[in-house]
Amino acid sequence: MRKSEDKYDFCVRWDPFFLSPDTPAGGIPMPDDFSSAIASLKENGKAVGIDFTCKTELLPNTTLVHTLVEYSKQAGGSTQNDLVEVLFKAHFTDAEGQTLDNLLKYAKSVGLDVDATKSHITNPDNQKVITSKAKEWSDKGVTEVPYFVINGEAVFHGDKDEASFLKEFERLAKR
């Protein structure tokens, strides 16, 4: 997107989706069938200067994470995207656990009020909303992330290289 921001207007929005919706609160060991996805993530990240170490050994339950990401939308501006970048680095590069304390630290780093954030993301009703929204995407046929919708059109899923994005931006701009 940075290479095309002089040509297009971008508004990034992150919606909840669970890769493994039945993951228990403490997480599960990383499934063997994730190895090819992790290799692809590392390769595509390296191409754009991101070091996805993928050192984490657990596939976490991400309900609190998604509740936090959804909550951050209300701050407006780039807060949600800034938070997601912090979360990705913490998980995929630094292998930090997604504990409540860590999530609150990340929320504070992007300017969210810690007490209000804690109250919101630990509220079971708010978590149920996230579970419902994630299920909507599954019901629409989404099976992996990331999943990209551009100008309302489902474009592609999975991590893609930079050239794939630029090609799609060009294709959609011609409409």
Q: What is the pLDDT along the chain (175 residues), one digit of tens a residue?
A: 777 778 877 777 899 999 889 999 889 998 887 888 788 888 878 877 788 888 888 889 999 999 999 999 999 989 999 999 999 999 989 989 899 999 999 999 999 999 999 999 999 999 999 999 999 999 988 888 888 887 777 777 767 777 888 888 888 888 7
How far apart (Å, rounded) are the C-alpha atoms in residues 160 and 139? 23
pLDDT at 130: 97
pLDDT at 90: 93
pLDDT at 4: 79
Q: Smallest Cα–Cα separation from 110: which of 73, 142, 140, 137?
A: 73
Cβ(67)–Cβ(120) below 8 Å? yes
pTM of the model: 0.85
How far apart (Å, rounded) are the C-alpha atoms in residues 120 and 66? 12
Q: Residue 155: which residues within 8 A CB-CB, separation 6 or more?
A: 148, 149, 168, 172
How many angstroms separate the Cα of 62 from the Cα of each of 11, 26, 79? 24, 10, 19
pLDDT at 61: 94
Q: Smallest Cα–Cα separation from 88: which of 106, 108, 112?
A: 106
pLDDT at 113: 98
pLDDT at 108: 98
Q: Smallest Cα–Cα separation from 111: which of 69, 83, 87, 91?
A: 83
pLDDT at 118: 98
How far apart (Å, rounded) are the C-alpha atoms in residues 39 and 45? 10
